[in-house]
Amino acid sequence: MKVELYNRIVASQLNRRSVLKGAASVSALAASGGLIPGMARADAHANLREQILAIPGVGMGSPTDADWQAVGELCLGTTRARFAEGEFEGVELTFMGLNNQNLHNFLFRGFLRPWEQYTGATINWIDLAQADYNARLQQSIATGTVDFDIIEMGAPFEGDTAGRGLLDPMPDWVKEDIDMDDYVGYLQEPVGTWAGETYRVSIDGDCHNFNYRTDYFDSEEFAAAWAEEGHEGPWEVPTTWQKVQEVSTFLAGKEDPFTGLQAHGYLDPLKGWGGFGFYFLASRATAYAKHPDDPAWLFDPEDMTPRVNNAAWVRAIQDVMDIMETQPADQINADPGTTGFQQFLAGTGSMLSWWGDIGSSARTSDTSVVGDVIGFSILPGSDDVWNHATQTWDVLPSGPNLSPNMAYIGWGIYVMARAAEGGELKRRAAWSAAAHLGGRDLSLWCSAYPSGFQPYRNSHFNIDEWEAAGYDRAFIEDYLGSEADSYNHPNAAIEPRIPGIFQYYSVAEDELAKIYAGEYASVQEGADAIAAAWDAITDQIGRDSQVALYRSSLGLE
Amino acid sequence: MSQDRLYVVTNDQITPGRVRAGKMMIWASFALLVLVAAWQIMGGYDLAADFSNWRPTLYAYMFFVTCFCMALVVRHGEQGKRRLFVVPATIFVLSMVFFPLVFGLSIAFSDWNLSSISGQQYNGFDNIRQMWQDDFYWNALTNMVWYTLAIIVEYAIAFGLALLLNSQIRARKFFRVAFLLPLMLSPVAVSWMVGKSMLEARFGPIARLARTLGIDNPSFFGDAETARAMIMIMDAWTFIPFMMIMLLAGLQSIPKDIQEAARVDGATPWQNFWEVTFPLMLPVSITAIMIRIIFKLKLADIIINVTSGGPGGATDSVTSFIFREYRDRSNVGYGTMLAMVYLVFIVIGFTLFMKLAARWMRPKY
């Protein structure tokens, strides 16, 4: 929604007074729960969800700070029910999080502004770019200078933080307030827990899904050319990486049906992204490397021997190399952010693996032009899968091997032990802020609008709510279906929650850059270099402890 | 008397008691510093109550330094006051350079990965051995040689511009300001405005212009040589004005009569430049080039923002590589060792360069 348009609507319908009235009504309803029939409460709750999803309205442009504040205010009910006004007066908290694409912390500020006004607490902000995140966190830990009370953090870092006693265990009242039972299956324990304690308020459920351009695959012109060139099968969205390769090669030299510029197939982000770029190779590799009979796919669980140089990973890297000529110019200098937001959403390329942000931004971001021509599915599979035990390629009787990449396992809000050391009031304030951000209703809004987060609760998959918010039913069924298929897949590839995981990814990015630039004689040689570097990191961090934590994260011990 | 009495304003009558008091001030404050530091170190090993941060030792150090300076006056009177003109600055330099260097060396000879539970472990020369086999580091050093050699071209352009702005041209003042503008931009801004926006392969205005000129797929960072050249151009665009302004100042300080005398003697414009102006400009040129080399050796921001060292390490600088090793991989010990070795290379390189420069600047005739 444009600012002026939003302001006009806010002035007539959703001004602060009416928002406060609405919030007061919601809290009054919650407070008088015993007197009001259950149906009425459910209706009020449904109304709240409907009300927040109308801010600013799908198709009305990117939300602004005023929208975030309005949503934060409407979702304050749980806080109001548990804490008195001004209860945290004088408490000062520091929050460390990201500022990617002006999302994450930008939203948190808006969501927490009404919380600050109500509770009396104040929050100081540490904003980090994605690529700076790992370094800032590691340095704080290693130098004993943790200067934040609340952190937005991914599960892969739990080994670095919870493993060192830096996090505060979640109080039971928070578990109640955020309704943890509503989380999708893979975000339930052991994710978010460490040695039996729960630490994480989930605000995101990460997986890479497959985004594609429907206009490409509906194109009769492409269909005719596909048949004419003698390709096997109809012209359709590829469901295996083998087909992705074939389609990408086919599209080279053709014209984009939407922009009229050069057509492109699958987009590979070829430049590193502070370690996060490695996930994009992993999304290509999981279908080859993650065998349904084996929980491991990155390292051997026995001794942390890297598998990144086995036949499956080498094949994935070779796939990238094979269609490099079909990529847009300068793709070798495009990181995942550029590829997702400046290329795919801006109309370049026809297929892309990314987190759910692409789907939630496609129709709600000002910079997206592909909202009406985008489709979603689970990541492609493979006709065969590498069997590490037998060292052979298996063809599964069930068909292509699918293994969605649960890349990063989603963002969560964690409270540091530092907050608890500041006294019980500060601890309660920190957890209250975390619970507000991880609330059931607020999270629905985050899933539906650009936020950096994707659906992660069972309650997020209610298509009717999305449709009422203005989403096209077919579009949202497609989008949420791809997410649900990934989350619930029995052969999902979940990364290890071990200390220093981003060191492995970062060094792999450096070596991959050399492989992509053709500086190794073969892909195998480059992959061997990654494996050697990974072994060195494991030895440096401590092989025994890494093996133990890795096995624990796989549920083997 | 050995002292030069010419500069003595007052004749100090320093009693033995004053001397003893001065010594006392120094040794007592030093003892306090040692005590606090020892307490601090023991606190780190849980042998004493922990101070939680290093501020007590820092305050004790500052107290010692203050006492030391005061004691100079107490012990040496007028002579001590004179020493106070130099001693604080010396102590400041020692504090800001020497101590960090010592701490840095202690880190450089250790295996310290921030994710490692065991923390910092001294590992002798292992980091040196690792560096010797590290293709990424040597590749970055090789790139630095290319980046540094590009200064020759930058110098030629800067000299040309300086000559232009030193001559009688229209709107000279305007051009002087206009040519200086790139220097006022942060390299980070340059990398975003030029590297990531203007040179963007699809929508960037330069890419559009290239397409208009018939280049189908303009690519500015797609291959090693082009990418390296683009980094050099962006860096040069930012810093050529700096060399230009120094050279312009040098040109303006050359007495006009020397050049006029040369013209009267029948020197051609080229001879006038090559035999008169250029030799006279050598000292300024050497200074400008040396400062430019110092800037160049720190080159990292544009690379980190635009290419992250790619494609395949073709644009990596030593600083950008250390940045990744240290920051992304939390490899503090090894990263520090790489920086220390780079420092040694720089010191040796600069010493040789200054020796050569001194030889070049000797009069030919």
User: Is the pLDDT higher at A122 or at A1?
Assistant: A122
Whether pLDDT at B89 is above 90: yes
Residues 303-322 on B with a CB inside 8 Å of A are 306-314
For domain B130-360, give the CATH superfamily: MetI-like (1.10.3720.10)
Tens digit of each residue's pLDDT (9 = 90 or more) over A62-94: 899 999 999 999 999 999 999 999 999 999 999
Tens digit of each residue's pLDDT (9 = 90 or more) over A164-220: 889 999 999 999 999 999 998 888 877 788 878 899 999 998 899 999 999 999 999
Q: Long-range contact list for A515-522, CB < 8 A, 24+ apart?
A: A515/A317, A515/A321, A515/B312, A516/A270, A516/A320, A516/A321, A516/A324, A516/A332, A516/B311, A516/B312, A517/A332, A517/B224, A517/B310, A517/B311, A517/B312, A517/B313, A517/B314, A518/B312, A519/B312, A519/B313
Specify whether A198 is located in the same domain as A224: no
What predicted TM-score, i.e. pTM, was given to this entire model?
A: 0.83
Report the chain A residue with the minimal C-alpha distance to residue B199.
Answer: A330
Report how far residue A91's alpha carbon sits from residue A121's, in angstroms, rounded to the nearest whole number.
5
Element at A353 (helix H, strand E): strand A351-354
Among A129-133, A252-256, B161-165, B250-254, the minimum mean pLDDT is found in: A129-133
Tens digit of each residue's pLDDT (9 = 90 or more) over B271-328: 999 999 999 999 999 999 999 999 999 999 999 999 999 899 999 999 999 999 988 8
Res. A43 pLDDT band, cuts 50 70 90 = low
Residue A219 has which token pair?
A: 């194109």
Whether pLDDT at A4 is above 50: no
A1-11 mean pLDDT: 32
Among A155-169, A209-223, A264-278, the minimum mean pLDDT is found in: A155-169
Interface test with A, best of B129, B220, B330 (most A CBs within 10 A): B330
Report how far residue B206's alpha carbon sits from residue A545's, in angstroms, rounded to the nearest whole number.
52
A56: domain CATH number is: 3.40.190.10
Are the beta carbons of A540 and B310 separated by less than 8 Å? no
Question: Do the beta carbons of residue A524 and residue A309 sit within 8 Å?
Answer: yes
The total of other beta-carbon atoms located within 10 Å of residue B79's CB is 16
Question: Do the beta carbons of residue A152 and residue A413 sit within 8 Å?
Answer: yes
Q: Measured between beta carbons, which residues in chain A are less than 8 angstroms from residue B136?
A: 510
pLDDT for res A20: 36
Report how far residue B9's alpha carbon sits from residue B28's, in angstroms, rounded to the nearest whole number.
31
Q: Is B229 near chain A, with CB under 8 Å?
A: no
In a domain, A466, yes or no: no
Q: Measured between beta carbons, which residues in chain B are less than 8 angstroms from residue A514?
A: 312-313
Residue ranges of domains in chain B: 5-128, 130-360
Whether pLDDT at B3 is above 80: no
Nearest CB partner across the interface for A330, out of B119, B201, B312: B201
Question: Do the beta carbons of residue A120 and residue A91 sit within 8 Å?
Answer: yes
Identify the DSSP state of A405: B
Tens digit of each residue's pLDDT (9 = 90 or more) over A334-378: 999 999 998 999 999 999 999 988 987 888 788 889 999 999 999
Phi, psi of B175 (to 5 degrees): -65, -35
Residues 347-366 on A with a CB inside 8 Å of B are 348
Nearest CB partner across the interface for A513, out of B217, B219, B313: B313
Question: CA torsion sign, A71 to A74 to A78 to A82?
Answer: positive
Identify the DSSP state of B14: -
pLDDT for res B30: 97
Size of interface A-B (CB pairs under 8 A): 120
Res. A139 pLDDT band, cuts 50 70 90 = confident
In a domain, A469, yes or no: no
Report how far residue A542's alpha carbon sits from residue A548's, in angstroms, rounded to the nearest whole number.
10
Identify the DSSP state of B317: -
Among A277-281, A353-357, A520-524, the minimum mean pLDDT is found in: A353-357
pLDDT for res B9: 62
Tens digit of each residue's pLDDT (9 = 90 or more) over A93-133: 999 999 877 789 999 999 999 999 999 999 999 999 877 88
Are the beta carbons of B328 and A271 separated by less than 8 Å? no
pLDDT for res A494: 87
Are the beta carbons of A272 and B310 separated by less than 8 Å? yes
pLDDT for res A9: 31
Identify the DSSP state of B327: I
Nearest CB partner across the interface for B220, out of A275, A330, A331: A330
pLDDT for res B189: 92
In a domain, A461, yes or no: no
Spatial CA neighbour of A282 closest among A471, A530, A51: A530
Are the beta carbons of B310 and A271 separated by less than 8 Å? yes
Whether pLDDT at A50 is above 60: yes
Which range of residues forms the domain containing residue A172? 3-202+411-452
pLDDT for res A33: 37
Whether pLDDT at A13 is above 80: no
Specify whether A167 is located in the same domain as A221: no
pLDDT for res B142: 96
The C-alpha angle with vertex B313 and arms to B307 and B314, in degrees rounded to 5, equals: 80
Residue A296 has which token pair?
A: 């491991």
Specify whether A188 is located in the same domain as A215: no
Whether pLDDT at A550 is above 50: yes
Given A392, A425, A452, the domain boundary residue is A452
Nearest CB partner across the interface for B330, out of A348, A500, A510: A500
Specify whether A156 is located in the same domain as A92: yes
- Rounded to the nearest angstrom, the minimum Cα separation between B321 and chain A is 10
Report how far residue A362's alpha carbon sits from residue A286's, in angstroms, rounded to the nearest whole number.
26
Report H helices in A54-155: 65-74, 77-82, 105-119, 130-142
pLDDT for res A264: 96
- Percent of chain A exceeding pLDDT 70 equals 92
Report H helices in B254-360: 256-264, 269-271, 278-297, 301-306, 318-323, 332-360
Residues 214-243 on A with a CB inside 8 Å of B are none
Nearest CB partner across the interface for B118, out of A331, A348, A542: A542
Report H helices in A402-462: 417-421, 424-437, 440-448
Question: Do the beta carbons of residue A351 and residue A212 sit within 8 Å?
Answer: yes
The SS3 call for residue A213 is strand
User: Is the pLDDT higher at A447 or at B3?
Assistant: A447
pLDDT for res B342: 95
Which residues, including other chains, have CB under 8 Å from residue A14's CB and lie 6 or more apart?
A55, A70
The overall average pLDDT reported for chain A is 88
In a domain, A480, yes or no: no
Tens digit of each residue's pLDDT (9 = 90 or more) over A457-495: 999 999 999 888 888 899 889 989 999 999 889 999 988
Question: Do the beta carbons of residue A95 and residue A105 sit within 8 Å?
Answer: yes
In a domain, A459, yes or no: no
Q: Is A277 near chain B, with CB under 8 Å?
A: no
Interface test with B, best of A134, A268, A332 (most B CBs within 10 A): A332
Specify whether A273 is located in the same domain as A335: yes
A438-452 mean pLDDT: 91
Q: Measured between beta carbons, which residues in chain B are less than 8 angstroms from residue A518?
A: 312
Specify whether A99 is located in the same domain as A75: yes
Q: Measured between beta carbons, which residues in chain A are less than 8 angstroms from residue B200?
A: 330, 342
Given A396, A424, A452, the domain boundary residue is A452
Q: Measured between beta carbons, which residues in chain B are less than 8 angstroms from residue A156?
A: none
Report H helices in A190-240: 214-217, 220-228
Are the beta carbons of A503 and B219 separated by less than 8 Å? no
Q: Measured between beta carbons, which residues in chain A are less than 8 angstroms from residue B308?
A: 271-272, 335, 513
Tens digit of each residue's pLDDT (9 = 90 or more) over B195-235: 989 998 888 899 999 989 988 888 899 899 999 999 999 99
Residue A101 has which token pair?
A: 């694409």
Res. A23 pLDDT band, cuts 50 70 90 = very low
Nearest CB partner across the interface for B312, out of A275, A506, A516: A516
pLDDT for res A38: 43
Tens digit of each residue's pLDDT (9 = 90 or more) over B135-150: 999 999 999 999 999 9
- Letter string b/e over residues A378-407, b meaning 16 or more CB atoms within 10 A of that residue's CB: bbbbbbbbbbbeeeeeeebeeebbbbbbbb
Whether pLDDT at A3 is above 60: no
- Rounded to the nearest angstrom, the minimum Cα separation between B332 and chain A is 10
User: Is the pLDDT higher at A64 or at A43?
Assistant: A64
The SS3 call for residue B202 is coil
Q: How many domains does chain A have?
A: 2
